[in-house]
Structure 1
Amino acid sequence: MDRKKRWLIYGMLTLATSTWGSAFIAGKIAIESFDPATISFLRFFGAALLLFPIMWMFEKDRPKHTKKDWILFMLLGLTGIALYNICFFYASKYAPVIKSSLFIAANPMLIMLLSGVFLKEAITRRNVVGLLLAFFGVITIITDGDPMVILKFQFEFIDLILLGAVITWALYSVLGRVVLQKYSSIVSTTYAVGFGTLFLLPFSLIEQPWERFSDSTLSAWLAIGHMSVFVTVLGFILYYYGIQKIGAAKASIFINVMPVSAVVMATLFLGEVLTIGTIIGACFVISGVYVGTSVKRRHKQSHMSTKTG
């Protein structure tokens, strides 16, 4: 891959994860009118209405689906669309944007770990160091800098929800790498969103959303529309394209852009305050992700330099 194309992919991944940061703000707005599962369903139903025509128009020569392919598409819909977003919007309702966004910033380390286990990618000592740094950062964020909270078992239930979001997104990324060996990012995203929407429907019906429609605000609908078009259609296609071209572990580096954009927007638009514990935790998370994910690229550059010399 030449340098120009590589930087183009990096730019696309940066754009994708930047839009995901705005989902934390949009989620805070939408949650004032609708319950979490309903927001997720409306978001992905709207995205599906756009994605399927796009796929049919630009992906006419799609590979023939096998039974295994359909199972993988269903798993993508279950993990990255249904379960992740239910966890995400519950976090939007009960956790500060800064805390939830930085917590999810630990995702690259878990994605790298799962990539090593299931995709047989090499995990170095620096990967492990980075993982431990990021984990310490997450603990710092959860406890707000007070380690005694761990000893007193004073975790909040929402922390388990956030952990569920981290795990399901990591599974979605790793499974996506398998699917992308055969299908394009548009096809993979479309079927994942399609199945995810179906999985979300019963959860939404339990919440009886029709009772909330009359009281919903225009801002809530605009927020859902933003998440459908930009966060889902644009963001997911670009993210999967990046995974397809440079791999799940390396593409996950750019997830760090998401909490940065979310924190900036939270302080600007929601008036949330950064605590010392959150700042320290964020530094450890970002440092850990940098240490753990920059190794592969540096190793490759070193190898190339040796070969040239």
Structure 2
Amino acid sequence: MEQTSNLPHPTLDKTSGWINGFIGVVIFSGSLPATRLAVLEFDPVFLTVARAAIAGLCAVALLWLFREPRPAREQWWSLLIVALGVVLGFPLLTALALQHVTSAHSIVFVGLLPLATAIFGVLRGGERPRPVFWIFSILGSALVVGFALAQGLTASPTGDLLMLAAILACGLGYAEGAKLSRSLGGWQVICWALVLALPVMALLSLWLAPASFRDISLSAWLCLAYVALFSMLIGFVFWYRGLAQGGIAAVGQLQLLQPFFGLALAATLLHEHVSLGMLAVTLGVISCVVGAKKFAK
């Protein structure tokens, strides 16, 4: 695995950035449906710490295998932000939210992630997208918020507020991790963030573990494995690398595709109802990625 800073050609960097970012989005699209299935049998807090602990152990093995040097002292603060945002914050808040709303409903909120990531990309990453970029990004987010309001928030105000908090935590973690990836490397960032959180997550996993796992189904175990290995680790290898190569604000707009893939999974795997309104909103936010990409720089 090469570090992002060693890649020489800017044009190839941008192309690779979009490819890596797209792969990351496809992997992340399965996170909410898998979490939805898992919390039917696992406590959401236990699920959060268990997935982080499993991914953290894998991260330790990767860092040891490739004999990666420790991050510099000034990089640990950024790693802590990444850990709080994407290792703890987003998984925990979404797991709690999915006790109140369906995965199809929650996936629509993922359409807010590009705007949140772009804002934190400006605040933490020093990026300066063109003004027209913000029009497309805000339009996509407005479609998502408008859909939630059109539902009257009757599904669950608690679930929607938890999803909004999760989006903010995730956007910050994405932007901070992408900024750090430029010097530390994409896969190294998520691995070190997982290692940083591992002692706490491992202890909490043992403390919160149910008395017996006898009644846990195979599907729940597979969902735990997915969110631990793919959502928590492998997806970030591609995602952070893509953000660092192609730009946080620009590649971050690929997240507008995530609701489309997620809704398809929710309908096929969970047999959840996907309304025409959900599809219309999803297609609307997807169309915004073209304009946002064009004016990101």
Whether contact under 8 Å (2:108, 2:259) holds in the other structure is: yes
- Alignment correspondent of 1:81: 87
For 1:121-160, what aligned pairs fall within 5 Å after superposition?
Answer: 121-143=127-149, 145=150, 149=152, 156-160=157-161
What secondary structure, in the 3-state scheme, does the structure 2 residue paired with 1:160 have? helix
In the alignment of these two chains, the number of paired residues is 289
1:98, 1:232 → 2: CA distance?
20
Is the 1:34–1:212 contact (alpha carbons within 8 Å) kept by the matching residues of 2? no
Contact 1:103 1:141 in 2 (8 A): no
Q: Which residue of 2 aligns with 1:220?
A: 220
- Return the alpha-carbon distance in structure 1 between the equivalents of residues 199 and 60 of structure 2: 14
Checking the alignment, whether the CA contact within 8 Å between 1:77 and 1:194 is kept in structure 2 is no
Distance (whole Å) between structure 2 residues aligned to residue 24 and residue 155 of structure 1: 17
* Cα deviation 1:238-283 (Å, max 9, x = unaligned): 1111122222112212223322211111111211222233233323
2:54 & 2:205 partners in 1: Cα distance? 14
How high is the TM-score relative to the length of structure 2?
0.86
Given candidates 43, 52, 73, the residue that maps to 2:51 is 43
1:174 equivalent in structure 2 = 175
For the residues of structure 2 that align with 1:170 and 1:210, how far apart are their CA atoms? Answer: 32
The answer as to whether partners of 1:63 and 1:183 remain within 8 angstroms in 2 is no
Structure 1 residue aligned with 2:4? none
Tell me if structure 2 keeps the 8 A contact 1:140–1:278.
no
Task: Give 3-state SS (helix, strand or coil) of 1:213's partner.
Answer: coil
For residues 89 and 64 of structure 1, the distance between their equivalents in structure 2, rounded to whole angstroms, comes to 30
Which residue number corresponds to residue 6 of structure 2? none
Q: What is residue 98 of structure 1 aligned with on the other side?
A: 104
Counterparts of 1:59 and 1:246 in 2: how far apart (Å)?
27
Counterpart Cα distance in 1 of 2:29 and 2:286? 15
Matched-pair contact (CA < 8 Å) for 1:185–1:240: yes
Say if 1:198 and 1:134 are closer, same or farther in 2 by CA, change over 3 A: farther
2:37 — aligned with what? 29
- What's 2:190 paired with? 189
Deviations 1:154-180 (A, max 9, x none): 961111101011100110012113322
Distance change >3 Å, CA 193–CA 84, structure 1 → 2:
same
Find 1:56's aligned residue among 53, 64, 78: 64
For residues 48-70 of structure 1, give each alpha carbon's deviation from its aligned partner in whole angstroms, at most 9, with x where no partner exists.
1111111222243x26521x322
Q: Which amino acid in the other structure matches residue 117 of structure 1?
A: L
For 1:220 and 1:31, the matched residues in 2 are separated by 8
Query: In structure 2, what is the Cα distance between the partners aligned to 1:2 and 1:175?
Result: 21
Structure 2 unaligned residues grouped into runs of 5+: 1-8
One-letter amino acid of the structure 2 residue matched with residue 42 of structure 1: A
Quickly say closer, same or farther: Cα 1:222–1:154, change in 2 above 3 A: closer
Structure 1 residues 116 and 257, CA gap change in structure 2 (3 angstroms): same
Report the alpha carbon displacement of residue 235 of structure 1 after superposing the two structures with TM: 0.6
Tell me the equivalent position of 1:279. Answer: 279
- 1:124-182 Cα offsets, whole Å, 9 max, x none, are 33123123312321222213x35xx38xx996111110101110011001211332232
* RMSD, aligned α-carbons: 2.6
> Shift in Å at residue 237 of structure 1?
0.9
Q: CA deviation at 1:121?
A: 1.9
2:124–2:176 contact (8 Å) kept in structure 1 = no
Tell me by how many angstroms 1:218 deviates.
Answer: 2.0
Taking only the aligned residue pairs, the percentage that are identical comes to: 18
* Cα offset, 1:114, TM superposition: 2.2
Equivalent in the alignment of 1:18: 26
**Is the partner of 1:210 in helix, strand or coil?**
coil
What is the rounded CA distance, in whole Å, between the counterparts of 2:276 and 2:174 in structure 1?
A: 31
8 Å contact 1:17–1:257 — kept in the other structure? yes
Gaps of 5+ in 1: 298-309
Shift of 1:205: 6.9
Contact 1:76–1:196 under 8 Å retained in 2: no
